Amino acid sequence: MKAASAGPGKTRTVRVSAPAKINLFLEVTGKRSDGYHDLATLFARISLADSLTLTRSRRPGVRLRVRGGRFLSGPPEDNLVHRAAAAFFSAFGIPPAVDIELMKKIPVGAGLGGGSSDAAAALSGLCRLYGVSMERNRSRLEGMALALGSDVPFFLFGGPFASGSGRGEILSPLEPGGRLPAIVLVYPGSPVPTGPVYRALRPVPAGEVAANLKKFRRLVKAIRSGAPLERWAHLLYNRLEEPVLPAHPAVRRARAGLVSSGARAVLMSGSGASVFALAENGREAAKIAKISKKTGNRVFLPVFC
């Protein structure tokens, strides 16, 4: 394979933002032969973000430093950012020589896709750092992204909103119309591992899944048309609440707290532990956030981006 050259005069440092996501809808439509699950989901990118600084080095290898990130454990080589960098250098035949600093702001194990977004940011940052065209190498990068995690393709190539099928990697961009609602995001303080959540899922009648998929199509249509929140708040759905809420009291209490605060659209994101509420405007969101902060949970007021 011909090596991709960084070339003389290329930038030596690149900074990349790694935004979180919430799922406005998540239904599990089946179990796959590869052990994963087929999904119907609606991703929405939000402004809460990690950041990466990538610097070309004279020393060979990939060196990763993580700042923040409570509950992160294991050696740097196990981090998705390090794995993304290793995959990039191998795929493009570039000798690895980079220092990466990851600043964590997105809670770990929160259902917000922080690790997946970090991996996507690493890939896009390395492309910029070494002069590799993302568009000309889209297929190769998509393959790397999916090998790193089911949500990574959304962060690498998805827009602000996208519906996802397959493992979540088959993406259809969604352009929302009209004004978007405000967000109150609550993290109850302890992570929820994803694997046990999917393993705890119980079989669901096909008719129930089909009915939910009709709701999914109505939700996408409503957001695309710019319908007000009151017209589609009831269409939000997450199948993974079924195994998570009974097993994780902190998540259950955080969700119930948002409901009792008067929020009209409340949902858990991904496999948890974060829950969120949508509000008509920033003033309403600030009131909900003020009530939620009294519980001792971490509360954020991000925006769709």
Catalytic site residue from 2, 10, 21, 99: 21
Catalytic site residue from 2, 78, 151, 221: 151
78 is catalytic: no
21 is catalytic: yes
Show the 3-state SS of the chain: CCCCCCCCCCCCEEEEEEEEEEEEEEEEEEECCCCCEEEEEEEEEEEEEEEEEEEECCCCEEEEEEECCCCCCCCHHHCHHHHHHHHHHHHHCCCCEEEEEEECCCCCCCCCCHHHHHHHHHHHHHHHHHCCCCCCCHHHHHHHHHHHCCCHHHHHHCCCEEEEECCCCEEEECCCCCCCCEEEEEECCCCCCHHHHHHCCCCCCHHHHHHHHHHHHHHHHHHHHCCCHHHHHHHCEECCHHHHHHHCHHHHHHHHHHHHCCCCEEEECCCCCCEEEEECCHHHHHHHHHHHHCCCCEEECCCEC
Q: Which residues are catalytic?
A: 21, 151
